[in-house]
Structure 1
Amino acid sequence: MGLAVPLTVTDGGANDASTSDLDVERNGDSRFLMNHSVKSFSWDGLTVTVKDRETKKARDLINDIGGDVQQGELVALMGPSGCGKTTLLNVLARRPAASGAKVLGDSYVNGVKVDAGPFGRMTSYVEQEDALIGSLTVQETLQFAADLSLPSSVTKRQRMDRIRTLLEAFGIQKQASTLVGTPLRKGISGGQKRRVSVASQLITCPKILFLDEPTSGLDSTASYEVMSYAKELARANNIIIIASIHQPSTTTFQLFDKLLLLSGGRSCYFGPVVNVVSYFGQIGHPIPGQTNPAEFLLDIVSADFGGANGLAHERVQAIQQAWAESAEAKGVTQQVMGRASAEMEKKVASLSAEDMARPGPVRITAALLHRSFIKSYRDVVAYGIRIVMYLGLAVMTGTVWIRLHPSQEYIQAFVNAIFFGSAFMSFMAVAYVPAFLEDRATFAKERANGLYGAAPFLISNFLIGLPFLFLMSLLFSIVSYWLSNFRPDGSAFMTWVMWTFLDLVAAESLVVFVTAIFPNFVIALALVAFANGLWMSVSGFLVTPTILNPFWKYVFHYIDYQAYVFQGMMVNEFSQRNYSCGEGCQCMYITDLADQCQIRGTAVLETYGYATGRTGKWLGILVGIIAVYRLLGWAALHLRRT
């Protein structure tokens, strides 16, 4: 069938956990079968230290955590809020723990240390917030996950087999053609979204799967459903699954094979869930009958509430001390340290070299381009609303400056119309901020799973925007240009469209640059609006370049993309058009056509200091500004890891 793992769990039972080498060869997809399975994942002495902002002293977020997990096991990482669950999960997954944090300790796969590259390819991480694109269907979500993670050696049929099996395994085959859902279009349920998130990470057949709060926002039934699928997958496919979870119901809690209980960044228990009752009974905290064990454990290891005179804090310290001195804790340490083996090291090295290939940058860029195209025409927030906005702006400018005549009393109106149209076209690019923030969030999560870097993301983002920006420019120009009666010439009209198009591309590039640095809606919106206001001020219309303050002229005017668009449009309108002086021939501008009671348009350009014949130069500078914005955006995304 070409399928990497036996994910046939739709009947509710677990398949045989082993896959023979004969089955591997028969299936013809040996590079992706778990013929080099991860038999154990362990860690010892994990400690994360940060500098306290108030005391400036070192403070431990987690302290001396150890654990050992076997293939096919589902592990719960549990504790009260702020206990270090997410920090520990990030450390285990080799992700940044916290800003400025110092990480100590070791983790082992099959008893040996593994480099970050191979480790990242044998693991997957499902974040608390679903990294899903709402305008894609469930099947498309899995299809693009496969395109971004599987190399070309996996055939199209093998990919479809894998996707179909995952859909069936998670019970979402009936929703395959349903949109995930956007704020404007209802999609699948919350529980189904969590299953799609997990399924999309299983495309590459990871050996270790990390789940951050997989039941967050779900009711008890949906939580049990999600974790039940996770348990079946762990057993059927020999996957190690480690999930942080806050307060599971009794039935959900009993699904886990092992529990790592934290409080204040320290271990309170690590071991089989079935031994929890006996262990806490031995240390003086028996769990009452008919009580949810998870709730009881969270209550006794929480020092934040109900602890008059520090009794809760003392209780937690006693529990932590009891664990540190227990035979169970010593047994975990012995298990971790006793697994090292040269033979296992060879197997892990073989795994990283043979099984962990990823698609090349060209294929990744093509997949991102295809995905962005689907999103762009389905999600009206991305470009649909902006097209309507620009059409509205075109109607407004065209009717305010309607039927302008080629006479001197209308010259200023022509100039005003040129400035207003070009300036507000770029200003309204702030509407792209929310769409790019959504794309950036998806990129951040996919990059964290090692799928691709900043370059393919920005290249696909740039290319997919070009046809839509050109369409906006064309529609705006068709309406406003002819209504306002700008120079009636086909080549002049297409030149106007070109300047409008470059104006939008530059404005969108500014949005990409700013939002890449500040991925916050309010901050990004404010900064983009401020920047466009600055560009309007120094573009040459409000204050002509001939009298503009030298500081603003040499620091900002020459890097202002709006300035080059305004110059280009002015030259396009006035360089080859004459204007009548009106009755009495009192010409506002004295040119060689004064005796004919006309004004040559170049006289208007001279008052602004604009010369003709420089269109190519301005065009090159504008393209350079666009390139710089995009390169700075790439640098910001490349250097910023969150």
Structure 2
Amino acid sequence: MIGSDYVLEAHNIYHTAEVDGKGCFNGSGNSALVLKGVNLIVHSGEVMAILGSKGSGKRALLDVISRRAEGSTRGQVLLNGAPLSKGLFQQRCAYVTQNNSFIPGLTISQTLHYTPTILSGYLKSSKVRQVLADLALSQVAHKRVEHLNLSEKRRLSIGIQLVRDPVMLLLDEPTQGLDPLSAYLLISILSNSAKKTGCGILLSLEKPRSDVFPFLDRALFLCLGGVVYSGSTRAMLEYFHGIGFPCPQLENPLMYYLCLSTVDRRSRDRFLESSQQIEALVERFSRETPLPEAPVNSLGTGKVPLAYGKPGELKVWALLYLKLLASTFSCGVVGLKSLILRLFLLPLAMSLMWLFYSNVGNDSHGFFSKNGMILNIIGLSYGCGILTTISLYPCWRKRFFEDYPEGLYSGATMLIAYNALSIPFAFISAAIAACVIYPLVLDPQTPDGISFTYLLVSLWSSFTFAEQLCVLFLLVVKSPFNAAIAVTYILVICISLASGTVRSYKGLLPWLQDNTKGTHTRYVSSLLHSVAFSQKTNCTPTASVICPKATDFLHERLGRADPDETIDVAASCAFAIGFVAFNMLLYLFPMPRFIRRKYID
């Protein structure tokens, strides 16, 4: 609960934004004035509705207040008289957008509990229980997020912000798509929460119903960026009556004055007439109702909410990691799918090799069979890494891009948490797969620990390399399917040129042979060849029988008879670990505008 009174003000806001952007990076360059001299004031515990038709500037105003707007902005946004910077908004306010996704497999209670806050232990558990009760979610607290209806999803997205105890809460069209009863319930819940906690609430509405009117303390009517009215809902009827627009009996005042503030586009004459009327209303309101002087209070005098703030990076990482664990080990389809993909997909893929390579010998035909087996091992390891990543990572990527404007954690923190789970799982999966495939590669009667380690390194590094390459592409490619196609295309080229299985190195041009040294496939293939061809042939040479030599075959396929296993192991691991570090470094940089828009839209 907020212990002090807070006042949010906007003074003479003008905002120019880009419209109809079609460029890949910077749009078409067209811009328009979307906010024109907007003024508003909201106190703690009040609910203010921003009303207007589509294109009136409601979302732009919320973006300006939350410091997320792109474009040129003039005017002042103040919190208790102090300029509301982006950092201050992230620390003390919250914004619930229409684009909210949740991590599948988690329950409502878990989703709230794993929300990063400065609270922990009993205090956080108490806060979560309070939010569940305030949002009428206590009865469905253990319901998984993938089974929620639209009303429950909206309330949960609001709860994620309320559990952090903000002093001001902004909501973009929270009732859109809801049935009348659910919309009434949501607005009444927000009103009760504002009165109970002292949080100021600003919400935009496009089609307000009459039954929500009693829950609104203030209203702001926008039309094409101009303010038709801004102030108390109690004074609204008197104001419009005084300027010659009384609300008829049995009419919804919100909708009546919203229609009054909307341009009529049914004909050219009506368009001109309504535009002139709205311009007159905007001018009259700005002339007759000047906004009071801004207070000169300072936020540095103890008026800091007890619970709200930004938690430390280490604490956020721990919460993300626990959320990953909870999602992975959740009871249900999502948890089962995650465990199968992370633990058992690679061993199952390797077990298919028994159907084709259970009788591989050491003759010349057997050499080519082992060569084909190595091709399949590399291809299946890459494929399992791609399939696992595009199935499990996109939901975390989407959640990150939604959390990114709040500044709670960086992309590197998210990737560290993700890799802290995925890399150990990949190692366990590779160890199981190595046990499955080992009898096909080497004689199980004479176990060799070093060869098994090489096989394990090959499988793990291939799986992890493909996984990290997918993570890289999923940073800029929205569709997981398209990212998988791009990664597959790159890896197929690497296998064709650098594995020595599709064709020998001797058939490549010299510059292509040199370029293969910069691929992961070359080293992992060399490592697998050294393991597969380490056994001596059982062939006994005679006058009529010439026994093939593994060294001759390796020289023909790889250009060298004895692969340098130490270098191959180091290079295979370096490619996998190097891509992990590279992705974390890449996610440290600010997200480009065209990437942010891709996931917001």
Asked whether the two chains share a fold, i.e. TM above 0.5, the reply is: yes
Alignment TM-score, normalising by the size of structure 1: 0.82
Distance of 1:271 and 1:166 partners within structure 2: 29
AA matched with 1:322: L
Cα offset, 1:140, TM superposition: 1.3
- Once the 2 structures are TM-superposed, how far is the Cα of residue 419 of structure 1 from its aligned partner? 0.9
Task: Give the CA deviation at 1:397.
Answer: 2.4
* Deviation, structure 1 residue 640: 1.0
Partner of 1:419 in structure 2? 375
Deviation string 1:239-278 (CA, Å, 9 cap, x unpaired) is 1111122323221244222222223333333222344445
- How far is the alpha carbon of 1:510 from its aligned partner? 0.7
Distance in 1 between residues matched to 2:544 and 2:553, nearest whole Å: 17
* Aligned residue among 366, 375, 394 for 1:437: 394
Separation in 1, partners of 2:541, 2:222: 86
Structure-2 separation of matches of 1:206 and 1:528: 42
3-state SS of the aligned residue for 1:149? coil
Structure 2: tracts of 5 or more residues without a match: 23-27, 597-601
Q: In the TM superposition, what is the alpha-carbon distance from 1:234 to its structure 2 partner?
A: 0.9
**Aligned equivalent of 1:249, options 188, 193, 209:** 209
Cα separation, 2, equivalents of 1:544 and 1:295 = 75
Query: Match of 1:311?
Result: 270
Q: 1:361 to 1:306 in 2, by over 3 A?
A: closer
What is aligned with 1:111? 81
Pick the aligned partner of 1:398 from 336, 354, 361.
354
1:195 is the counterpart of 2:150: no
Kindly state the Cα deviation for residue 52 of structure 1 after the two structures are TM-superposed. Answer: 6.4
Quote the Cα distance in structure 1 between the aligned partners of 2:301 and 2:522: 57
Written as runs of structure 1 = structure 2, the 5 A alignment for 1:607-622 is 607=556, 608-610=558-560, 612=562, 614-622=564-572
Q: Supply the distance in 2 between the matched residues of 1:585 and 1:289 (Cα, whole angstroms).
A: 111
1:24 aligned partner: none
Give the letter for the 2:152 counterpart.
Answer: Q
**3-state secondary structure, aligned to 2:50:** strand
Change (3 A) 1:37 1:529: farther
Counterpart contact for 1:571–1:612, Cα < 8 Å = yes
2:40 to 61, 67, 89: 67
1:135 is aligned with what amino acid? Answer: G
User: Separation in 2 of the partners of 1:306 and 1:561?
Assistant: 62
Q: Is it true that 1:240 corresponds to 2:210 in the alignment? A: no
| 1:143 maps onto 2:108 in alignment | no
Q: Percent identity?
A: 20
Q: Contact 2:58/2:222 (CA < 8 Å) preserved in 1? A: yes
* Counterparts of 2:485 and 2:154, CA distance in 1: 34
Equivalent residue for 1:179, pick from 120, 125, 144: 144
Contact kept in structure 2, 1:517 and 1:636, CA below 8 Å: no
1:223, CA displacement in angstroms? 1.3
Tell me which residue corresponds to 2:423.
Answer: 466
Q: Tell me, in whole angstroms, the C-alpha distance in 2 between the residues paired with 1:539 and 1:188.
A: 49
Counterpart of 1:323 in structure 2 is 282
CA deviations on 1:602-637 (whole Å, 9 max, x unpaired) are 322222124646333233333332344234423443
Bigger mean CA deviation after superposition, 85-94 or 621-630: 621-630
Matched, 1:334 2:286: no
The 5-angstrom pairing of residues 451-530 of structure 1 reads 451-482=408-439, 484-488=440-444, 489-491=447-449, 492-530=451-489
List per-residue Cα deviations over 1:148-174 (Å, max 9, x = no partner): 221xxx452222222222222222222
Partner Cα distance (2:580, 2:244) in 1: 62
Partner of residue 406, structure 2: 449
Other-structure match for 1:11: none
Distance 2:350 2:563 in 1: 28
Q: Aligned with 1:517: secondary structure? A: coil
Take 2:390 and 2:470, find their aligned partners in 1: how far apart are those partners? 6
Q: Which structure 2 residues correspond to residues 552-591 of structure 1 after superposition, within 5 A?
A: 552-555=512-515, 557-578=516-537, 580=539, 586-587=545-546
The structure-2 alpha-carbon separation of the partners of 1:110 and 1:548, relative to structure 1 and needing over 3 Å to count, comes to: same
8 Å CA contact 1:48–1:63 kept in 2: the answer is: no
Give yes or no for the alignment of 1:89 onto 2:44.
no
Q: Are the counterparts in 2 of residues 307 and 313 from structure 1 also a CA contact under 8 Å?
A: no
Task: Tell me, yes or no, if structure 1 residue 48 matches structure 2 residue 16.
Answer: yes
Q: Judge conservation of contact 1:122–1:356 (CA < 8 Å) in 2.
A: yes
Q: In the alignment, residue 158 of structure 1 is paired with which amino acid?
A: L
Is 1:125 the equivalent of 2:75?
no
Query: Are 1:123 and 1:208, in contact at CA under 8 Å, matched by a contact in 2?
Result: yes
Could you say if the C-alpha distance between residues 427 and 104 of structure 1 is closer, same or farther in structure 2, counting changes exceeding 3 Å? Answer: farther
Change (3 A) 1:210 1:559: farther
Higher mean Cα deviation, 257-266 or 366-375? 257-266
d(CA) in 1 for partners of 2:560, 2:236: 81
Within 2, Cα distance between the matches of 1:468 and 1:313? Answer: 66
Match of 1:9 in 2: none
User: Distance in 2 between the 1:82 and 1:550 partners?
Assistant: 61
Residue 552 of structure 1, CA deviation: 4.1
Cα gap change, 1:246 to 1:391, in 2 (>3 Å) = farther
CA offset digits 1:72-96 (Å, max 9, x no partner) = 111112322233322221211112x
Q: Within 2, Cα distance between the matches of 1:572 and 1:56?
A: 59
Distance 2:514 2:75 in 1: 54
* Pair 1:356–1:202, CA change in 2 (3 A): closer
Structure 1 residues 110, 178: CA separation in 2 closer, same or farther (over 3 Å shift)? same
What is the DSSP-based 3-state SS (H/G/I as helix, E as strand, rest coil) of the residue aligned with 1:270?
strand
- Report if the CA contact (8 A) 1:42-1:111 is conserved: no
Match status 1:543 vs 2:511: no
**Take 2:269 and 2:488, find their aligned partners in 1: how far apart are those partners?**
52
Amino acid at match of 1:549: L
Letter in 2 for 1:504: F
Distance 1:550 1:221 in 2: 73
- Work out whether residues 136 and 374 of structure 1, in 8 Å CA contact, stay in contact via their aligned partners in 2: yes
Partner amino acid, structure 2, of 1:237: T
Contact 1:50 1:102 in 2 (8 A): no
SS in 1 for 2:193: helix
Change in Cα spacing, 1:280 to 1:220, as seen in structure 2 (3 Å) is same
Is 1:63–1:266's contact at 8 Å kept on the other side of the alignment? Answer: yes
Contact 1:213 1:243 in 2 (8 A): yes
The answer to whether the 8 Å contact 2:505/2:559 transfers is: yes
2:390–2:470 CA contact under 8 A, matched in 1: yes
Q: Which of 304, 321, 335 in structure 2 is aligned with 1:369?
A: 321
Q: Is the 8 A contact 2:416 2:584 kept in 1?
A: no
Q: Which runs of 5+ in 1 are unaligned?
A: 6-33, 182-186, 588-596
The 8 Å contact of residues 538 and 560 in structure 1, kept in 2 or not, is answered as no
